[in-house]
Amino acid sequence: MVAVPDARYETAVRICQPKKRVPATLEIVDGAARVEVHERGSRFGTDFFAGLRAMDALVVVLRGFTNPMASEPADPLQELRSVEDELLLADLTVLEGRLERLHKQGARRQPGSAVEEQAIVGMLQHLESSLPLRGLDMTPEQAQVARAFALVSAKPAILVLNVDEQDLHAEAEIRSSILSYANPNKLPVMVLCARLEAEIAQMPPDEEGAYLAALGVREAARDALIRVAYTYMGLISFLTVGADEVRAWTIRNGTTALGAAEKIHSDIARTFIRAEVMEFADFEAAGGWDEARSAGKMRLEGKDYIVQDGQIVHIRNSRG
């Protein structure tokens, strides 16, 4: 569970000096599924997909560094294709099984089964073309099926290429091979050196920045991964501020004020009256919530208002 780096949250903490500080967090499961490589190639265990189905997105880490202990040179593109093939096969198996059950029901089929069957047939055609479902422009019915069966090739995927330190800034052939696959499939790619990142993680914050600058690296890979994941998964943050607590909340882009209230607490959503909304720039310029509100920078919005990234949102409800 890692804190989401956010300069706005840090600024709000500095201004409010709250008793409690709660940053937005992202849960990253290391080893939710692992590919074991043997002499005969990659082996996917029977439990390979057990952890994947519970994830909102996948991070595929590929070897792009030299390993003297490995019998074969690094081939991240082949590794990636092996993983993609397994994801496709898993979804094909699930959808074909569901389609078979629908056919067996015959006259006993439930209302809506025909719509579900049509949605599944379209998804199967896409998979049989060796294309993951994340690239399919899904109908609402197909999206519902994908969620219901936790289809793994429909999940967003981020590629992480782990290279030698000297290849971090070089346009190495091994990087080009991954980009040739990732770009047309609209997959974000991160390039890092895990050994170097392990060293950086042990440094105090004040030393970390100087060390990264000396390496010509803009930010630590952990921060870059969180930023890419937030963008790719369509996530944003809003803040609640005060002397008691400053908290950053994670929501999906397009969430309404009522949805933001639900994120805070279901009781607050049930008793929702209005949302008090303030732009972060106004909060920062005025030096606090009360100061900005006195300057007329706070406005009231209804339950259908779409919350924007970085805004400060307080909920008025009938209980306080």
Please indicate, yes or no, if residue 133 is contained in any of the structural domains.
yes
**Cβ-contact 242, 316 below 8 angstroms:** no
Residue 266: C-alpha distances to residues 134, 246, 263, 272 (Å): 31, 20, 7, 10
202 and 127 part of one domain: yes
CATH code of the domain containing 104: 1.10.150.300
Query: Crossing angle for the helix pair 194-201 and 205-215, nearest 10 degrees?
Result: 150
**Cβ-contact 157, 58 below 8 angstroms:** yes
Length of the chain: 320
Judged by DSSP in three states, 29 sits in coil
Which tens digits make up the pLDDT trace of 143-158? 999 999 999 999 999 9
Please indicate, yes or no, if residue 160 is contained in any of the structural domains.
yes
Measured CA to CA, the distance from residue 179 to residue 185 in angstroms comes to 10
Domain boundary among the residues 180, 213, 232 is at 232
Please indicate, yes or no, if residue 273 is contained in any of the structural domains.
yes
227 and 252 part of one domain: no
pTM for this prediction: 0.81
Please indicate, yes or no, if residue 247 is contained in any of the structural domains.
yes
Which tens digits make up the pLDDT trace of 55-64? 899 999 998 8
CATH code of the domain containing 313: 3.10.20.30
281 and 185 part of one domain: no
Domain that holds residue 268: 2-25+235-317
Domain boundary among the residues 232, 252, 272 is at 232
* Domain total in the chain: 2
214 and 307 part of one domain: no
Tokens of 167: 């290849």
Which tens digits make up the pLDDT trace of 270-300? 999 999 999 999 999 999 999 999 999 999 9
pLDDT at 133: 95
pLDDT at 37: 53
If you write DSSP's letter for every residue of 175-192 in order, what string do you get? HHHHHHHHTTTT--EEEE
Judged by DSSP in three states, 297 sits in coil
The enclosing H or E element of 268 equals helix 266-270
